[in-house]
Amino acid sequence: MDYRKIAEEIYEKVGKKENLISAAHCATRLRLVIADNNKCDSKAVEDIEGVKGVFFASGQLQIILGTGTVNKVYDEFLAVSGLSAATKAEVKQAAAAQQNVFKRAIKTLGDIFVPIIPAIVASGFLMGIMEALNFMVSNGFLTLDTTSSVFVFAKLFSNVAYVFLPILIAYSAAKAFGGNPYLGAVIGMLMIHPDLQNAWTVATEGVKVKQSVWFGLYDIDLIGYQGHVIPVIIAVWVMCFIEKRLHKIVPEMFDLFVTPLTSVFVTGYLTYSMIGPVFVLIENSIINGIQWLIALPFGIGSFIMGACYAPTVVAGVHHMYTVIDVGQLGVFGVTYWLPLASAANLAQGAATLAVALKTKNAKTKSVALPSAFSAFMGITEPAIFGVNLRYFKPFICGCIGGACGALFASVTNLGASGTGVTGIFGILLCLNMPLQYILMMAISIGVAFALTWMFGYKDEAPAAKEAPAAAEEKKEISAPVMETKPGTVYSPIEGNIIPMEKIKDDTFASGVLGQGVGIEPAKGQVAAPFDGTVTTVFDTKHAIGLTSNDGMEMLIHVGINTVELGGKYYTAKVTEGASVKAGQLLLTFDKEAIKNAGYDVTTAVLVTNADEYSKVSVIKTGAGEEMDEIIKVEK
Per residue in 404-458, pLDDT (tens digit) is 999 999 899 898 887 777 888 888 888 878 899 999 999 999 999 999 999 988 8
Task: Answer with the residue of higher pLDDT: 113 or 305.
Answer: 305
Give the C-alpha separation, 542 to 587, whole Å. 9
The CB-side HSE value for 147 (13 A sphere, CA atoms) comes to: 0
Q: Among 267, 259, 108, which Cα is nearest to 191's?
A: 267
pLDDT of residue 453: 93
Give the C-alpha separation, 613 to 633, whole Å. 7
pLDDT of residue 407: 93
In the structure, what pLDDT confidence band is assigned to residue 106 with cuts at 50, 70 and 90? low
Kindly provide the residue ranges of all beta strands, DSSP E only, lying in 483-613, ordered along the sequence: 488-490, 495-499, 515-521, 525-527, 532-537, 543-548, 553-558, 570-572, 579-580, 585-589, 603-607
Cβ atoms within 10 Å, residue 473? 12
* Amino acid present at 571: T
In the structure, what pLDDT confidence band is assigned to residue 96 with cuts at 50, 70 and 90? low
Q: Among 431, 407, 402, 421, which Cα is nearest to 338's?
A: 421
**Span 215-236, pLDDT tens digits:** 888 888 888 888 788 899 999 9
Quote the Cα angle for 210-216-217, to 5°: 100
Give the C-alpha separation, 588 to 531, whole Å. 19
pLDDT of residue 59: 64
Give the C-alpha separation, 8 to 16, whole Å. 9
Q: Among 491, 338, 497, which Cα is nearest to 420's?
A: 338
Give the C-alpha separation, 468 to 473, whole Å. 9
Q: What is the mean pLDDT of residues 365-381?
A: 81
What CA–CA distances, in Å, run from 208 to 195, 219, 331, 349, 377? 12, 13, 19, 50, 46
Quote the Cα angle for 196-202-208, to 5°: 55
Bridge partners, residue 553, by sequence: 547
Note whether 318 and 380 are within 8 A (CB).
Answer: no
The mean predicted confidence, pLDDT, of the chain is: 82
In the structure, what pLDDT confidence band is assigned to residue 97 with cuts at 50, 70 and 90? low
Task: Answer with the residue of higher pLDDT: 527 or 484.
Answer: 527
Give the C-alpha separation, 364 to 144, whole Å. 51
What CA–CA distances, in Å, run from 497 to 491, 502, 613? 9, 10, 22
Lowest mean pLDDT among 74-78, 197-201, 514-518, 599-603: 197-201
Residues 314-331 as b/e (b if ≥16 CB within 10 A, e otherwise) read bebbbbebbbbbbbbbbb
In the structure, what pLDDT confidence band is assigned to residue 567 with cuts at 50, 70 and 90? confident
pLDDT of residue 151: 86
pLDDT of residue 436: 92
pLDDT of residue 465: 44
In the structure, what pLDDT confidence band is assigned to residue 395 with cuts at 50, 70 and 90? very high
Lowest mean pLDDT among 159-163, 201-205, 245-249, 550-554: 201-205
**Span 170-198, pLDDT tens digits:** 999 998 888 999 999 999 999 999 989 88
Q: Is the pLDDT of residue 207 over 70?
A: yes
Residues 6+ apart with CB under 8 A from 331: 227, 284, 287
Helix H or strand E segment including 61? strand 60-64
Q: Among 53, 69, 52, which Cα is nearest to 7's?
A: 69
Lateral strand order in the sheet of 29-34: 20-25, 29-34, 60-64, 53-57
Residues 297-313 as b/e (b if ≥16 CB within 10 A, e otherwise) read eebebbbbbbbebbebb
For the chain, percent helix, then strand, then coil, each to nearest 5? 55, 15, 30
Give the C-alpha separation, 31 to 22, whole Å. 8
Residues counted in the chain: 635
Lowest mean pLDDT among 67-76, 121-130, 231-240: 121-130
Residues 6+ apart with CB under 8 A from 628: 490, 491, 620
Q: With H, G, I as helix, E, B as strand and everything else as coil, classify residue 557.
A: strand
Bridge partners, residue 62, by sequence: 31, 55
Q: With H, G, I as helix, E, B as strand and everything else as coil, classify residue 360.
A: coil
Question: Which positions are catalytic?
Answer: 26, 557
Q: Is the pLDDT of residue 539 over 60?
A: yes
Residues 419-446 as b/e (b if ≥16 CB within 10 A, e otherwise) read bbbbbbebbbbbbbbeebbebbbebbbe
Q: Among 490, 493, 553, which Cα is nearest to 519's?
A: 493
Work out whether strand 29-34 and strand 210-213 pair parallel, antiparallel, or are unpaired. unpaired
Q: What is the mean pLDDT of residues 101-123?
A: 72
Give the C-alpha separation, 316 to 286, whole Å. 20
Q: Is the pLDDT of residue 472 over 50?
A: no
Task: Answer with the residue of higher pLDDT: 138 or 490.
Answer: 490
User: Which DSSP symbol is given to 194?
Assistant: T
Tell me phi and psi for residue 550, to 5 degrees.
-105, 20
User: Terminus-to-terminus CA distance in the chain, angstroms?
Assistant: 23
Bridge partners, residue 534, by sequence: 546
Cβ atoms within 10 Å, residue 518? 26
Q: Is the pLDDT of residue 110 over 80?
A: no
Residues 6+ apart with CB under 8 A from 574: 534, 537, 544, 580, 584, 585, 586, 587
Lowest mean pLDDT among 140-149, 190-199, 520-529: 140-149
pLDDT of residue 610: 80
Exposed, middle or buried: residue 100 (CB in 10 Å: 0-12, 13-18, 19+)?
A: exposed
Give the C-alpha separation, 194 to 196, whole Å. 5
Give the C-alpha separation, 526 to 580, whole Å. 12
The distance of Cα 503 from the centroid of its chain, to the nearest Å, equals 9
Q: Is the pLDDT of residue 481 over 60?
A: no
